[in-house]
Amino acid sequence: MKLSKTIPSFRFQIALWTLVLSGAVLLGLTLFVYLSVHRQKLELLDTQLKAFANRLPQNPAGRGGMQRLEQAREWFFGAETVYLSVRDRDAQVVFRSMDWPVNVALPDEVALAPQAPHSSQAPSSSTEEMGFRRGSGPQYGQATGRQMMQAGVWRFQTLADDGLHWRLAMFSTANHEYRILVSLTSLDSEMAALRWQLTTVLLPALALLSVGGWIIAGRAIHPLNNISKAAEKIMAGQLEERIEPAEKAPEIGRIIALLNRMLDRLETNYRQALRFSADASHELKTPITLMQNSLVNHLNSVEAEGAEAQFCTQMLEHLSRIKRTTDGLLLLARTDSGQLPQSSQSFDMAELCQELCGDLRSLAEIADPESIWQESLPKTLLIRADPALTRTICFNLMVNAVRYSGHPQRIEVALRAEKNCACLRITNNGPAIPPEDTARIFNRFYRGANASHSKTAQAGEDAGSGLGLAIAHQLAVGMGGQLVLRHSHTDSTCFELTLPRADPET
């Protein structure tokens, strides 16, 4: 329960990962398309610029050159106006369009003037700057080269100025350096339109992905939900409940088939166990009732202190032992099959202990007049458990303490409240339980060496059914508590029973 609060549901996780993965792929693809389109458009523009350059006069300084240059601009077939600037080898501007946008900072206009280096000194690195360069952010508006162009070498660059983009193409002939500047405004607005189109497609796609992911995750988990719903019903006692087969998910379908088969077996076993304890109860208790009452009647019809009366008395004792063992075994059979009858209610454990201590103290005193019996019980201590079963546990523990104590007998019963539970410790001075036996003391029919040393055993009488601790342990666990052997050494053996409090301290 607590886990589900901190970790989002499995369905959410699946949906989220679906969205993240497919969203990332989609975004990547969109970006790729966008950039490709941008590049293609630039390349197209560059090609146009080259075609335009081919029409330029070879010698602008020659006669009529200026005019032809000015006219050439009109041949350009792009939507944008093209500007032209021509310099000679000494960086003198030979020609410049009248309406050249002065604000555009050209990369090497300033640098070229004083240096006026010769083309032969151009560094090899300039080749890297040849051809198309992607007009990515950092290079906008920056001067990327300071040397004169080599003849026939084209250089393209994207410049930014006050939010406007320009494409600058530079090439040089033997004597001149040409600069062609064209505005990218229409390209930018085309790209903006594309961006908008992509966004309007991408956002619904992402929304669709998240909804789809959520639905798919839900469908994937659906069989699991069926399993847990069925399990809940089964826990609530509807044993005939089965999990709906998941036909669309063969993997889960296999698990469901297996679980259903397991449930069949569980149900069969459970019903058998249920029938067993009911049948066994009936079949055993009816003859016991008859025997017991026949014996009592016979006892009252013969001479009171005669041999027959004593025989009847002994038979009644044996019968009593059979009854106790039968009850114990049936109780264990019921707890084994999970049918432990429980009425969980709030009651005073201190009062219960008080009552039991009263009887057992007398018992201890009879068994050993020098016995020391110590009690430390609170006035009240409310626990939440089944009163009858709690009584059985406490009684079994106390009887054991009396039965297996040393001489002079010393028994200590201490009940105290802990934060969430009531803790009853019963300590006696019986012989230590050997360490190798401590794991087995809660086993059925376990009788340690101590049992055979007990006073009753030495007297040749019954030393308990061997079920007392097993029953006490199983009942304690069944009621949400615990029963443990705290310690056992010479002189002191302590059992500790804890049961949930009705009013735990928060």
In angstroms, what is the minimal distance from the CB of 403 to another protein?
7
By CB under 8 A, residue 294 contacts another protein: yes
Burial 77-97 (b: 16+ CB within 10 A, else e): ebebebbbbbbeeebeebbeb
In angstroms, what is the minimal distance from the CB of 229 to another protein?
26
Mapped onto helix, strand or coil, the DSSP state of residue 462 is coil
Q: Which of 89, 285, 425, 444 binds another protein (CB under 8 A)?
A: 285
Strands 154-161 and 410-417: unpaired
286 vs 376 by CB, closer to another protein = 286
Q: What is the DSSP letter of 454?
A: S
By CB under 8 A, residue 35 contacts another protein: no
By CB under 8 A, residue 289 contacts another protein: yes
By CB under 8 A, residue 275 contacts another protein: no
By CB under 8 A, residue 40 contacts another protein: no
269 vs 320 by CB, closer to another protein = 320
The reply to whether omega before 60 is within 30° of 0 (cis) is no
Residues 383-402 that bind another protein (CB under 8 A): 386, 388-389, 395, 399
Q: Would you call 454 exposed, middle or buried from its count of C-beta atoms within 10 A (0-12, 13-18, 19+)?
A: buried
In angstroms, what is the minimal distance from the CB of 389 to another protein?
8
Q: Would you call 7 exposed, middle or buried from its count of C-beta atoms within 10 A (0-12, 13-18, 19+)?
A: exposed
By CB under 8 A, residue 293 contacts another protein: yes
Q: Which of 5, 282, 379, 419 binds another protein (CB under 8 A)?
A: 282
Q: Would you give the binding string for another protein spanning residues 305-334, x where CB under 8 A is met?
A: x---xx-xx--xx-xxx-xx--x--x---x
Question: What is the spatial distance between Cα 44 and Cα 156, in angstroms, rounded to a whole number?
Answer: 12
Q: Which of 90, 264, 359, 491 binds another protein (CB under 8 A)?
A: 359
In angstroms, what is the minimal distance from the CB of 288 to another protein?
4
What residue has token string 């008395």?
313
DSSP assignments along 403-421, one per residue = HT--SS-EEEEEEEE-SSE
* Longest alpha-carbon distance in the chain: 161
Q: Which of 281, 354, 482, 492 binds another protein (CB under 8 A)?
A: 281
Burial 469-478 (b: 16+ CB within 10 A, else e): bbbbbbbbeb
Question: What is the spatial distance between Cα 183 and Cα 202, in angstroms, rounded to a whole number?
Answer: 30
Q: Which of 286, 346, 376, 420 binds another protein (CB under 8 A)?
A: 286
222 vs 324 by CB, closer to another protein = 324
CA distances from 58 to 70, 131, 156, 174, 178 (A): 14, 21, 20, 10, 11
Q: Which of 288, 333, 382, 414 binds another protein (CB under 8 A)?
A: 288
By CB under 8 A, residue 274 contacts another protein: no
Question: What is the spatial distance between Cα 129 and Cα 276, in angstroms, rounded to a whole number?
Answer: 93
Host H or E run for residue 83: strand 82-88
Q: Which of 226, 342, 438, 492 binds another protein (CB under 8 A)?
A: 342
Burial 227-258 (b: 16+ CB within 10 A, else e): beebeeebeeeebebbbeebeebeebeeebee
324 vs 425 by CB, closer to another protein = 324
Q: Which of 1, 98, 174, 304 binds another protein (CB under 8 A)?
A: 304
Q: What is the DSSP letter of 501?
A: B
By CB under 8 A, residue 167 contacts another protein: no
Question: What is the spatial distance between Cα 176 and Cα 153, in angstroms, rounded to a whole number?
Answer: 12
By CB under 8 A, residue 444 contacts another protein: no
71 vs 293 by CB, closer to another protein = 293
What residue has token string 């019996």?
373
216 vs 363 by CB, closer to another protein = 363
- The residue among 134, 138, 171 whose CA lies nearest residue 155 is 171
Taking contact as CB under 8 A, which single stretch among the options 13-21, 120-128, 337-345, 410-418 is the one that binds another protein?
A: 337-345
Q: Which of 232, 461, 491, 503 binds another protein (CB under 8 A)?
A: 461
The reply to whether omega before 8 is within 30° of 0 (cis) is no
In angstroms, what is the minimal distance from the CB of 219 to another protein?
42
Number of residues that bind another protein (CB under 8 A): 52
Q: Which of 464, 470, 476, 483 binds another protein (CB under 8 A)?
A: 464
| Token pair belonging to 65 | 């050159």
Residues 401-440 that bind another protein (CB under 8 A): 403
For residue 265, give the amino acid letter.
R
Q: Which of 122, 273, 363, 484 binds another protein (CB under 8 A)?
A: 363
Q: Which of 20, 31, 192, 296 binds another protein (CB under 8 A)?
A: 296
| Token pair belonging to 424 | 């009853």
Q: Name the residues that contact another protein, by CB under 8 A.
A: 277-278, 281-282, 285-286, 288-290, 292-294, 296-297, 299-300, 304-305, 309-310, 312-313, 316-317, 319-321, 323-324, 327, 330, 334, 339, 341-343, 359, 362-363, 366-367, 386, 388-389, 395, 399, 403, 456, 459, 461-462, 464
